[in-house]
A and B are shown apart, each in its own frame.
Chain A
């Protein structure tokens, strides 16, 4: 397989699906001539023209409203929001319209809307440009919320999102765009399910449950732990709504221990929600409390050392594991 970046993988998915289905179009701020703030949509305007690659004014509410309305009118929109932080300006449309219409109107309207947006911290972009907000949307019935961590998954999940009829919030991480990974050749068609996690590393001592960029940090932590004789299993959830809970529980039945690792804030969020369902459905298999590694409970500071301190890192994952896993008799 060839190796391409996360950015290129997403671009390929968009282009391939737009070639396949004339109903698909993309709209957002600076996605045409500029090529997208993070360069994801570069070149699409040349192939598909300005009818299907629509630059919009700086107006998030009408971007998402237009996506929803166009779906009601028979199209399959991809809306790009410049960052996840700006989704708050469109959150009324996402929460009150997109998530509710199918149910509220008795199953009549379908809303095949995909909203792409990058989030996350680590690039010194400050408090208003560094948030992980998947928690807010994963809380809401009626939405799918996915956070692919690899180029392979980004391409396969975006293609899958564009071939089904439920609204999907497709949350990218701005520090993943340059990450490279193996992806099949363009002529090799594949999709990745929107509701299935994957075991990234098999292990027997502890289950590390994570998603998005934290997958990579957690994998590094697992390798470090292996050197100390602790064999960690790493689960990349890929989707937080719906949650592939059986995959997590199957692993915990084997390891009897779990740590949830996420970049977002610790309290009342995705990680605590996952820990709660582990307790609810897997309590009998646990030999220790569920560990939780998360972002610090502060707005993201700008200053580099402070930002580094606010973000969860490899050392914190290792410490959380060691807190619940007995020290091995001897380092192998």
Chain B
């Protein structure tokens, strides 16, 4: 199909450059995670590693609807969010490597990325914890009369926690400028959502709090983007929270340690071959004459080069100095004992 050369060619109000940038970001997130998996098997990355592969349309779609000053709070599958919010991918990979150049100085790891500058308020390894804090960030926005929002990203497992109930109720009660985006990837670790939820969707739960609800195809970037944009506008207008349920699928196990015995290989294959969000976006753009196979190839090659550079940076970065062990426990430097005879630090 011939490329529509006309400058004004758009899709969903987005121009060619914007759409190609979104495509690039999805490819970057995917390749970044593939590289992280490689490094994990090489022993360069420790602990847990939860990959975002398969869910890229959610992050790229949602973040494209945000403003730079908006806050984001998330769960532990967050490498992609950190990159999308503006943290250098090198600093994200370095964090995975536990290096001093990581975005949390190597002290957080895969599940705990932060940036004051970019208003990324962390990944949480306690399921649902970000929901109650999102209400608080929303309150601070409201209290100070700011034109920004707090976006909470969470999975279907977080819905099972009491924190979900407490947060939805308070956000609705106080009309807080927050957006709740549930990436329902259908499994909380090995627990199928059909076995964990008493109702099949979040619609009745949203209704219980009087919160507007929208269900989207989480493999369709533009649909996610549109829902978040609409919810953001509502929040900024002072009309309170929205609950978005995005149906998606993670192509890998829960973490690197998970062989995913709880689901069939056929199910995985079906999603990977027919519902891959990157392939779907490419087909859509190609169909609209907004992207060519040559451009896709060029993007893939560019991302391959970038990811190699990102990994090299992480590898060559130094580990934290030994003194970092006791740094930043508290702002004041206080520890368990307030020595009068020694410097008041956590060091014994």
**Which residues does A use to contact B, with CB under 8 Å?**
25, 51, 56-57, 59, 61-62, 64-75, 77, 92-93, 96-97, 101-110, 141-142, 144, 164-166, 195-196, 239, 241-247, 277
**A241 contacts B336, CB within 8 Å?**
yes
Contacts of A277 in B (CB 8 A): 337
Flag if B330 contacts A75 (CB, 8 Å): no
Given contacts A104-B104, A244-B338, contact A142 B163 (CB under 8 A): no
Stretch at the interface among B115-123, B193-201, B237-245: B115-123
Residues B173 and A96 in contact, CB atoms below 8 Å apart: no
Q: Are A102 and B339 in contact (CB under 8 A)?
A: no
CA distance A300 to B346 in the complex (A): 35
- 8 Å CB interface, B107-153 against A: 107-108, 112-116, 121-122, 124, 126, 129, 131-141, 143-144, 150
A103 adjacent to B328 (CB under 8 Å): yes
Give CA–CA (A106, B116) in the complex, Å.
11
- Tell me the complex Cα distance, A97–B132, Å: 11
* Neighbouring B residues of A242 by C-beta, 8 Å: 334-338, 344
Contacts A92-B126, A103-B329 known; 12 new A-B pairs at CB < 8 A: A61-B162, A65-B163, A68-B133, A71-B140, A106-B104, A106-B106, A106-B108, A142-B329, A165-B331, A166-B334, A244-B340, A246-B338
Which chain A residue shows the least CB distance to B121? A72
Question: What's the Cα separation between A103 and B135 when bound, in Å?
Answer: 23
A141 neighbours in B (Cβ, 8 Å) = 329, 335-336, 346
CB-based nearest B residue for A143: B330
B131, A65: Cβ atoms closer than 8 Å: yes
Assess whether B328 is in contact with A102, with CB atoms less than 8 Å apart.
Answer: yes
Report if B277 contacts A (CB, 8 A): no
Most chain-A Cβ atoms within 10 A of its Cβ — which of B73, B133, B137, B167?
B133
- The answer to whether B330 and A243 touch across the interface, beta carbons within 8 angstroms, is no
**Residues B338 and A196 in contact, CB atoms below 8 Å apart:** yes
Q: Is the CB of B166 within 8 A of A59?
A: yes
Identity of the chain A residue whose Cβ is nearest the Cβ of B135 in the assembled complex: A66
Residue among A51, A97, A195 making CB contact with B133, cutoff 8 Å: A97
Q: Is the CB of A61 within 8 A of B166?
A: yes
| B317 contacts A by Cβ under 8 Å | no
16 example contacts (A-B, Cβ-Cβ < 8 A) are as follows A59-B169, A61-B166, A62-B135, A65-B129, A65-B135, A65-B167, A69-B73, A73-B141, A75-B143, A105-B112, A106-B103, A106-B105, A108-B116, A242-B338, A244-B340, A246-B341
From B124, B150, B162, B339, residue with most partner A Cβ within 10 Å: B339
Given A105-B108, A141-B329, also A73-B140 (CB < 8 A)? yes
> Please, which residues of chain A bring their CB within 8 A of the CB of B135?
62, 65-66, 69
